[in-house]
Amino acid sequence: MSTSSVTIFGSGNMGTAIADLARRAGRTVQHIGSADADAQVTGDLVVLAVPHPALDQIVSAYGDQLADRTVVDITNPLDFSTFDSLVVPADASRAAELAAAVPGAKVLKAFNTNFAATLGSGQVGEQPTTVLVAGDDAEAKQDLLDLVTAAGLHAVDAGALKRARELEALGFLQLTLAAGDQIGWTGGFAVVR
């Protein structure tokens, strides 16, 4: 299954970068912003490219429409007031919480370990940008892996949705390193095969 249409919530730097990837992969893109009340979701693949505090509101307004679709969580659920912990249970993930809140949706975790600039340039320093994707639905996961590679980036299957815990830990660590000037926002963890 290749989803021809992608719906993207959020028009920040991540939403913009992921929309660009989708177009480069030949998909059509629908944007839904916070000002669009009662929009009709048209994409079979839905990317929630919003900060984690906005997820609940989207689920509340669009949950019924998300069932049966592939839903991609890209968030890093940091406590933004301290930058020292996550706001999800330590043995779980924001993606797992989302999957519980939207029954029937095929939830994937992806893009949370990629800084926006590296999605646009296709490079982490001099390494190719790799998107790590975790999820329980093999077909949905393969479709997103295909989109990423069709857009010219590398993609790696990071396992079941349970691995979202580790992906969120990696994203968290990467953000703390960048915030502390240990790495730049065009750098980060490159996946070397």
- Residues forming contacts to its own copies in the complex (CB under 8 A) are 84, 89-91, 124-127, 156-159, 162-163, 165-167, 169-170, 172-173, 176-177, 180, 182-184, 187-193
- Name which of 29 and 124 has its Cβ closer to its own copies: 124
DSSP state of 123: E
CB of 7 to its own copies, least distance (A): 28
Backbone angles phi, psi at 113, to 5 degrees: -100, 10
CA distances from 75 to 110, 127, 184, 192 (A): 9, 23, 19, 23
- Name which of 4 and 182 has its Cβ closer to its own copies: 182
CB of 6 to its own copies, least distance (A): 25
Query: Among residues 47, 31, 21, 25, which one has the least CA distance to residue 112?
Result: 47
* Residue 66 in tokens: 């998300």
CB of 95 to its own copies, least distance (A): 14
CB of 176 to its own copies, least distance (A): 6
